[in-house]
Amino acid sequence: MNFEFFAFLVFMSFVSFAIAFLAYAMVVRFMGKEGFLSRLSQIILVPACVVIYDFICIASPSSYRYLVGGLPLLGVAGLALYYRFVKGEDFADPPKTPTELAQANAEPKKFSKKSARIHASRKKRGRE
C-alpha cells in the first residue's frame, strides 16, 4: 500500500471531522438546538456538507488538495483560539457533574411555618 494514500486517508478523516464540527456549529448557531427544522438540518445538512467538501478535496488538483483540506482545520483552530482568548473560556476546567449542576441551579429550600417553628424550638432547647 502506498504511504501517501494512507496519509491522505488519515488527513481526510481529520478534515471530515472538522467539517462536521463546523457544520453542526453553524446549524446550532443559526437554528438553535431544539425544533423540527434544526433537528432536520442536523440530520441532513451536516452529513451533506461532509460529503460535498470531501468530494471537493478529492476533486481538487493534487498540488492543492492539502491546502483545500487544511481550511476547515484552520477554521476549527481559529474557533478554539477565539473562544479561549477573546471570549476567555478556559478549557482546562473539569466539567461539572450533573449533581453539581443541579445544586447550582436549585432554589433555596423553603420551609413551612410549622417546620420553621419546630426548628426554632429545637434550636432554643439546644442553647439552654
Task: Dump pLDDT digits (tens) for 65-85.
Answer: 899 999 999 999 999 898 888
Which three cell numbers mark 48? 451533506
Average pLDDT over residues 4-21: 92
Average pLDDT over residues 98-121: 77
Which tens digit of pLDDT belongs to each residue from 99-108? 777 777 767 6
In this prediction, residue 63 carries a pLDDT of 86
Q: Which of 96, 59, 75, 100 is CA-nearest to residue 19? A: 75
Which carries the bigger pLDDT value, residue 107 or residue 15?
15
pTM recorded for the entire structure: 0.66
On whether the CB atoms of residues 63 and 86 are closer than 8 A, the answer is: no
Q: Is 61 in a helix, a strand, or coil?
A: coil
